[in-house]
Each structure stands twice: as C-alpha cells, then as structure tokens.
Amino acid sequence: MSSEPAVRAEGLVKTFGDVRALDGVDLTVEVGQVVALLGPNGAGKTTIVRILATLLKATEGTATVAGFDVRTQANSVRRSIGLTGQYAAVDEYLTGRENLRMFGDLYHLTPAYVKERSAELLEGFELTHAADRPVRTYSGGMRRRLDLASSLIAKPSILFLDEPTTGLDPRSRLGLWEVMKELVREGTTVLLTTQYLEEADQLANDVVVIDHGRVIAHGTSEQLKDQIGGDRLEIVVADPAQIDEAKKALSTVFSGDALVEDNKISAPVTGGSTVLVDAVRALDAHGIPVADIALRRPTLDDVFLSLTGHAAEEEKADPNAPVSGRRRGGRR
C-alpha cells in the first residue's frame, strides 16, 4: 500500500465574492479508508468535494488526489476518481443497462469490457431484474444504486460520495451502506459527506467536522464522543415529586453536574456498566422507584451540539457554490 495519502488538502480557501466558503481547510484521506465530512447546512462540505473533483478551483491552497495536483493535473485526477453527487444523475428514459453503457462510452472503454463490467455491477447492486427496464420505473433506492454503479463503471480507486443516501427510506439506506462497506473491503478509498450522523458512525474510519468553512474537530467516532464527557446515566423517576431526592441520592454516583427535566435525570458517569448497579442500589436505599434507567454513550448528535452549538441540518446544496456539472472518472 502506498505511503502517499489518497487525498491531501492543505490550506484550502474558496471565496465567492465577499463570501468565504472555505477558510483554510486541511484534510488527509489515507488509502483504503472512509473519511466522513460532517457539518451543518452551508458549512462548505460540498465545496470541498467539488474542488477535489476538479469541478471548482480553490482560491488559495493546494490539493492532491491519487498523487495528482487537482489544479495542474486535473485530467489525471478525473481518471482516478468516481463521483456521486447529491442527486441521482441517471437518464430516466434509458434502461439501467443502457445508462451504464453510456458512461462506459463517455470514457472510451471497450464494448466488451463495459458489457462485462455492467453485468457485474447490476448483480452487485441487485438491479439485474430491472436492468432492461426504463429508469423512470425505478424506485428512489434503485435509482441511487444505479447512480453509484455508474460512478464505478471504470473501477476508480477513489470515490467521492456527496450525500449519497439523502431522500432514501431506511431500508434503502441500510442496503446502500452494505454496498459501500463492500467497496471498502475491496480496497476503494471513500470521502463521504453526509447529513446522517449515524451514517458516519457506521461507515467512517475518521470523522472531520466542518463549520463555517473550517475544520473544527476530527478523529474517530469514539474519539469525538470521548471529547464531550464519555457515558451518561439517564434515570426516569416514577414519581416526579421525588426528583430532587433522587438527584441527591445519586450525587455520589455522578461524575459531573446533573441535568433535570421533568422526572428525568441525566448526568455524566465513569465506571461503565457497574454504575447501573450502584445507581439502582442508591435509589432502592432511599425507597425511590424508577420507571426507566439506562447508560448511554454520547452520539455524534451530541458531538455536533457540543462543538457547533446547534444540531446537524440537512444540506440540500452548498449555497455558496455555483451549480456545476458532474464529472465521473476512473481507471480500468
């Protein structure tokens, strides 16, 4: 495996008039890894992807993809990547098989190779049964799978996925996650932007949090969660009148300040699952019945709230970046 990162960006700045969409972004994606870009609406995630995919030029900074400079070696970058944007870019009047053939033709792949690769992708994405039907008859999940398949027609080593599961139902989303995991097992490097925090939790080796065009945190999902205090104990008291007494009884169990909301107490704790036993014993000693008790790890939602002061929002498009065509690439 090459020591050269699949993607490296240093000091990326992008301005649109007076708007500074990116403000000095550094990013590294190692070969064979999945890195997720997380950020609120308009944070600059899509702008980063467009620069790396050579669809936009950075105002300042440098970036390489597959060892090629995105500014001076754009054609080589495009031959090394696949790109799936926020909206499925397939022709609804063509069949699934014809869509794949069209993308193969655009990149001057041989008909024999395209035929073989199309059959392989249609089977892998569970679209063989619909391969010869017009795409306008496909469900949203089927269109998204075909869209991803078309970005893989030339076997790119690096895949950029910009909001790949937006608008899909939960079942389709889970199915697409399995497809992406299989791609990674086969050696594909993935840079993913997503509005679904669970998606980053499930798929990413490294999570990069973007806000106002800057990287404000990065690390594994677990490392980011640890930054905001570890486990939290949540207790629902059966009788709301006993909430203050319950809080006092649990004071030796908690490792930080407790939050009280109606008949629910939430507080940071240490010690893992043994804390549950200690809490139940303390409440029982004071004759306080509970309706529910649970030990909860922080979620990436909690990380978002802690780091940015607001929850993640759906990013329909980066408002700072102009609408641009989409390029696909890859190397046979």
Of 205, 225, 245, the last residue of a domain is: 225
Closest by CA position to 191, among listed 156, 153, 161? 161
Q: What's phi and psi for 16, nearest 5 deg?
A: -125, 95
Residue listed under structure tokens 């599961």: 165
Please check whether residue 70 lies inside any domain of the structure: yes
Same domain, yes or no, for 160 and 40? yes
Same domain, yes or no, for 255 and 133? no
187-218 pLDDT, tens per residue?
899 999 987 778 888 899 999 999 899 999 99
172: which residues sit within 8 A by CB, 6+ positions away? Answer: 139, 140, 141, 144, 165
| Average of per-residue pLDDT across 126-154 | 92
Please check whether residue 266 lies inside any domain of the structure: yes
What is the reported pLDDT for 190?
Answer: 95
- Residue 33, SS3? coil
Q: Say what the pTM is.
A: 0.76
- CA–CA gap between residue 101 and residue 113 (Å, rounded): 10
| Average of per-residue pLDDT across 227-239 | 84
Same domain, yes or no, for 16 and 129? yes
What is the reported pLDDT for 314?
Answer: 44
For residue 324, pLDDT beyond 70: no
Rounded to an integer, what is the distance from CA 25 to the centroid of its chain?
18
The tally of domains found in the chain comes to 2
**Host domain of residue 246:** 231-296
Please check whether residue 202 lies inside any domain of the structure: yes
Same domain, yes or no, for 184 and 291? no
- CA–CA gap between residue 155 and residue 260 (Å, rounded): 53
Same domain, yes or no, for 191 and 244? no
- Residue 173, SS3? helix
CATH number at residue 288: 3.30.70.980
Same domain, yes or no, for 139 and 195? yes
| Average of per-residue pLDDT across 87-94 | 87
What is the reported pLDDT for 1?
Answer: 46
Contact between residue 31 and residue 5 where contact means Cβ atoms under 8 Å apart? yes
How far CA 157 is from CA of 32, 186, 210, 281, 323, in Å, comes to 9, 10, 25, 55, 26
Same domain, yes or no, for 84 and 176? yes
Same domain, yes or no, for 50 and 194? yes
Same domain, yes or no, for 179 and 282? no
Q: Residue 172: which pLDDT band, with cuts at 50, 70 and 90?
A: confident
331 is written with which tokens?
Answer: 């190397």
Please check whether residue 2 lies inside any domain of the structure: no
Same domain, yes or no, for 173 and 102? yes
